[in-house]
């Protein structure tokens, strides 16, 4: 059905917005868990597992990201082979099972396997086709479409954070997870029906598109993702802890995540529009530099809740651009390769960055900051994002010098 229905559709047509909006809704559930993990992180660290090192608890959130992105090369190849819809339904079942099993977990290692590993694997099956739909259906409005599609992840974090905190307060930890599982099954199961492919799956003899690894462009995109993900999650995971340190409550921490994700929604759509006008790499470079300039001064100097709200608004607007613009950059420079597979290969570096960043930040908070302030944790995060900016500048320079894509040179 995917092949017959979508193969006749033109680029930049109105029909392309149907699967794009379906991706936006599914992204709420794919990324909502990781974007709102700060609610669980604050609860685990300060209430449920008091005395457990932050580095240990960070494994739960880290495993979501690692499995979601780390397996994306395999799930992307599967999506290219058997179709987007089939792959997405596997993800729906696994994510639902993860929530239900996590609700019965009483130990940290059990949560690592369920809320971490199993959900991350399921999210990888959902993410693989989702990454490729908007770039496949659009050319002139590719940045905007990608921004709309990925804005769903922040929308999910917005209401996931508030809904999870409310459910935990009124129904308890276990039922909060079960409700998220029921919602995930019902909503993503419906949206998967709208995962139409513009280009039908093609027979493939290999899992990894190794020929793309011969190009410097691939490695620069991969290194930028590695550095960006190394620094990105610090605010998501620890701003609630900072709120507690300056006299706030668990609820204040969840409200800050709501504000952060609201900023992300507006930021991804706005930067997608800007990228279509001024170029994806130019927009990405500017946003990475602004992210570091906003995060370190505001977070380091925060002595109350008000500066933290300012941080979350501004950080939300500019920080997650690399999530929405990297698929656009990959689709532009690797248009002749199986898209889900190449994006999956670059996403392996996202997984490595997420693991490296979360574990390092947990270790720094435990061993250097010693649970008093997050000074060194913040500096590590900001420095990683600056490195991502430097790599993006190198990517921009390489594309200009090589002139490998004449059309793209008009708007880098």
In this model, does residue 204 exceed pLDDT 60? no
In this model, does residue 2 exceed pLDDT 50? no
Give the mean model confidence (pLDDT) for residues 379-383: 95
The residues, any chain, with a CB within 8 Å of residue 202's CB and separated by 6 or more, are 80, 338
Q: What is the pLDDT of residue 217?
A: 92
The residues, any chain, with a CB within 8 Å of residue 336's CB and separated by 6 or more, are none
Give the mean model confidence (pLDDT) for residues 54-69: 82
Instruction: Enter the tokens of residue 340.
Output: 């889900």
What sign results for the dihedral spanned by CA atoms 157, 161, 164, 167?
negative
Name the maximum alpha-carbon separation found in the chain: 60
145/404: higher pLDDT: 145
Q: What is the pLDDT of residue 116?
A: 92
pLDDT tens track for 240-252: 889 988 888 878 8
Range(s) of the domain holding residue 335: 2-409
- Cα angle at 382 between 73 and 291, to 5 degrees? 85
CA 263/CA 384 separation, integer angstroms: 21
- Are 223 and 398 spatial neighbours (Cβ–Cβ below 8 Å)? no
Give the mean model confidence (pLDDT) for residues 106-122: 93
- The pLDDT > 70 percentage for the chain reads 91
Give the mean model confidence (pLDDT) for residues 392-401: 92
303/80: higher pLDDT: 303
CA 147 to chain centre: 12
Residue 297's pLDDT band, with cuts at 50, 70 and 90, is: very high
Residue 112's pLDDT band, with cuts at 50, 70 and 90, is: very high
pLDDT tens track for 401-412: 887 555 544 457
How many domains does one find in the chain? 1
In this model, does residue 278 exceed pLDDT 80? yes
Angstrom CA distances, 138 to 21, 25, 132, 143, 328, stand at 13, 18, 11, 9, 10
Give the mean model confidence (pLDDT) for residues 150-159: 78
Residue 323's pLDDT band, with cuts at 50, 70 and 90, is: confident
111/78: higher pLDDT: 111
| pLDDT-wise least confident of 60-69, 92-101, 107-116 | 60-69
Q: What is the pLDDT of residue 411?
A: 55
Q: At 228, which CATH number?
A: 1.20.1250.20
């Amino acid at each position: 059905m995917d092949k017959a229905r979508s193969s006749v559709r033109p680029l930049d047509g109105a029909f392309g917005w149907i699967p794009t909006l379906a991706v936006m809704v599914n992204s709420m559930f794919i990324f909502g868990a990781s974007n709102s993990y700060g609610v669980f992180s604050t609860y685990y660290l300060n209430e449920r597992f008091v005395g457990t090192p932050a580095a240990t608890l960070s494994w739960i959130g880290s495993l979501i990201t690692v499995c979601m992105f780390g397996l994306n090369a395999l799930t992307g190849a599967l999506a290219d082979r058997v179709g987007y819809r089939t792959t997405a339904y596997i993800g729906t079942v696994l994510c639902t099972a993860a929530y239900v099993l996590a609700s019965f977990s009483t130990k940290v290692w059990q949560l690592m396997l369920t809320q971490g590993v199993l959900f991350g694997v399921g999210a990888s099956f959902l993410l693989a086709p989702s990454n490729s739909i908007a770039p496949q259906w659009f050319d002139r409005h590719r940045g905007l479409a990608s921004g709309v599609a990925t804005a769903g992840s922040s929308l999910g974090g917005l209401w996931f954070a508030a809904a999870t905190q409310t459910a935990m307060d009124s129904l308890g930890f276990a039922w909060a997870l079960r409700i998220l599982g029921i919602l995930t099954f019902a909503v993503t199961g419906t949206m998967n029906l709208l995962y139409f492919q513009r280009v039908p799956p093609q027979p493939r003899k290999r899992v990894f598109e190794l020929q793309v690894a011969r190009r410097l462009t691939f490695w620069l995109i991969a290194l930028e993702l590695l550095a960006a993900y190394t620094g990105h999650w610090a605010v998501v995971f620890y701003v609630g802890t900072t709120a507690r340190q300056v006299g706030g409550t668990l609820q204040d921490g969840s409200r800050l995540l709501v504000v952060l994700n609201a900023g992300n929604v507006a930021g991804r759509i706005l930067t997608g529009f800007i990228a279509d006008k001024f170029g994806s790499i130019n927009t990405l470079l500017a946003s990475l530099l602004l992210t570091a300039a906003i995060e370190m001064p505001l977070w380091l100097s925060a002595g109350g809740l008000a500066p933290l709200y300012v941080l979350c608004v501004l950080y939300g607007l500019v920080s997650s651009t690399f999530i929405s613009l990297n698929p656009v950059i990959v689709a532009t420079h690797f248009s002749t390769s199986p898209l889900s597979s190449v994006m999956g290969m670059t996403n392996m570096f996202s997984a490595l960055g997420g693991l490296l960043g979360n574990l390092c930040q947990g270790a720094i908070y435990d061993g250097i900051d010693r649970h008093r302030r997050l000074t060194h944790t913040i500096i590590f995060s900001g420095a990683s994002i600056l490195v991502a900016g430097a790599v993006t500048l190198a990517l921009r320079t390489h594309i200009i010098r090589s002139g490998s894509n004449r059309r793209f040179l008009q708007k880098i």
